[in-house]
Amino acid sequence: MESPVVELDGVVAVLGGFPALAGATLTVQRSEIVLLRGPNGAGKTTLLRVCAGLVPIARGQATVLGCDLAVDRAQVRPLVGLLGHRNGLYLDLSVQENVRFWGATVGATPLEVDAALERLGLAGRLAGLSVRRLSAGQQRRTALACLVARRAQLWLLDEPHAGLDAAARDEVDATLRQAAAAGATVVVASHELERAGALATRCVHVVGGQIEAEPVPR
Amino acid sequence: MTSWRIARLVAGKDLRIEWRSRVALNQVLPFAAVVMVMFAFALDRLPRPAGAEDSLLESVAPGLVWLASLFSLLLLVQRAFAVETDDGALDALRVARVDAGALFWGKTLALAAQLAVLEALLLVTAVLLYGTEVRASGVVLLIATWVAATFGLASVGTLYGGLAAGARGRETLLPLLLLPVVAPVLIGATRAVEAALGTGGTAIADGWPWVGVVAVFAVVFGAGGTLAFGPLIDE
């Protein structure tokens, strides 16, 4: 059996002296779309940042994409894509230039960049537009195209629907389903339970820095 | 991807952003010109120092050019990191684990290119506005100073820009951190340019040790930045 993409066992992460994660245990398999739900301050964002190798773990075992985060958490970073409240784009560059730049950081070919733009519906006229001139939904799609060009295997998304209208949310959902179908694994932290719940293959409840009993996959 | 290719990629991206946004052209350059004009207003009517061949403005022109360069450097550094933090691109670079040393050199090269153009224009402004004369025998010293000081200022600017990028109140923190550190460049480059221009009868040979000081500064901060930039932006 293929080893899980994310395997956290009793992970404790301390931020500013407080345990933001207090013994979190979670397993995510390849091509799953997992929804993290829970109140503000529950530890959802910290969980995503731990998986991205940005926050050190104080105790417990954490393996992401085969990298042991307790040994070298930076090792996992090139393999994951973390999309927070901001898109990580250069607003004065065009869509194509942004995707090309992020793709080039991992040596993506122009063909791969074009494929990423095509896949996100950003080819043609949109590709040449400055990101600053795009709608919020188009900017988010550009950020997702950058993840595709960066060949991210694990997508960690924090409130990916925030600030988007219904049409843009549909676009994001379609992209995430497509990414999972293509072999990527997606972990989403969201308050939009109805929408994100419909998207996810599994929902996980985060409370007080812990994962409540992991439900059986739907 | 090799570090050099990443550095070129980052430098190209930064220069393209500046070309599109025209911030350096429409804001920093006019600011530097205004500073030079204000210096001229402030110092023009002061009497010529006793026994001096040059007017006061001609005497202080090298220092004024570098002071205006330093003030402009602050704006350029803030702009260079604003494009990284506006939409969280610096965080994305950290997650992507882009080689921090290459990132440092990419940003330093882009900053150096903008600074080099700005300094050259400031020298031309000094010639036109202050009546400064450039002698042919001092051109090599002038160019050596220009190159060493530009890289020194760009490398220290990038290093401290990265340090301040994630800090609260970074707009005020950056000048506070950066200005004292660049004092050796200000002093060294000013003395070297004085020698190149022959200000106050200074010989050209007197300028080379100062170029050495500035070059050592550039090497130290270039090497320090390559090593320290990663940990600085990482947390």
pLDDT of residue A179: 87
pLDDT for A218 beyond 60: no
User: Taking phi first (over 0 means left), then psi (-120 to 50 degrees means alpha), and beta for anything else, what does residue B40 get?
Assistant: alpha
pLDDT of residue A216: 47
pLDDT of residue B154: 97
pLDDT of residue B102: 95
Q: How confident is the model at residue B221 (pLDDT cuts 50, 70, 90)?
A: very high
In degrees, rounded to 5, the angle at the alpha carbon of residue A95 between the alpha carbons of residues B117 and A145 is 130
Question: Is there a contact between B94 and A54 if contact means CB atoms under 8 Å apart?
Answer: yes
Q: pLDDT tens across A95-153, in order?
A: 999 999 999 998 899 999 999 999 888 888 999 999 999 988 889 889 999 999 999 99
List helix spans (H) across chain A.
Answer: 44-51, 95-104, 110-119, 136-149, 166-181, 193-199
Beta-bridge mates of residue B87? none
pLDDT for B89 beyond 80: yes
Sheet holding A59-64, edge to edge: A18-28, A6-15, A59-64, A67-68
pLDDT, average across residues B37-42: 88
Q: What is the mean pLDDT of chain A?
A: 89
The reply to whether A199 touches chain B by the CB within 8 Å rule is no
Closest-CA residue of chain B to A97: B13
CA distance B16 to chain A (A): 8
Of A80, A81, A88, the CB nearest to B87: A88
pLDDT for A173 beyond 90: no
| Minimum mean pLDDT range among A86-90, A116-120, B102-106 | A116-120
pLDDT of residue B132: 84
Question: Is there a contact between B96 and A54 if contact means CB atoms under 8 Å apart?
Answer: no
Domain boundaries, chain A: 6-214
CATH class held by domain A6-214: alpha beta
Give the end-to-end CA distance of chain B in Å, rounded to a whole number: 24
Closest-CA residue of chain A to B12: A101
pLDDT, average across residues B76-99: 91
State pTM to two decimals.
0.87
Question: Is there a contact between A92 and B21 if contact means CB atoms under 8 Å apart?
Answer: yes
- DSSP 3-state of B29: helix
Percent of chain A exceeding pLDDT 70 equals 97
pLDDT, average across residues B183-206: 92
CA distance B23 to chain A (A): 11
CA distance B32 to chain A (A): 24
Q: pLDDT tens across B150-178, in order?
A: 999 999 999 999 998 877 777 888 999 99
Number of neighbours of residue B218 by Cβ within 10 angstroms = 23
Buried b (16+ CB within 10 A) or exposed e, B182-213: bebbbebbbbbbbbbbbbeebebeebeebbeb
Nearest-10 Cα torsion for B46, B47, B52, B58:
30
pLDDT for A23 beyond 50: yes
| Minimum mean pLDDT range among A189-198, B141-150, B185-194 | A189-198
pLDDT of residue A21: 92
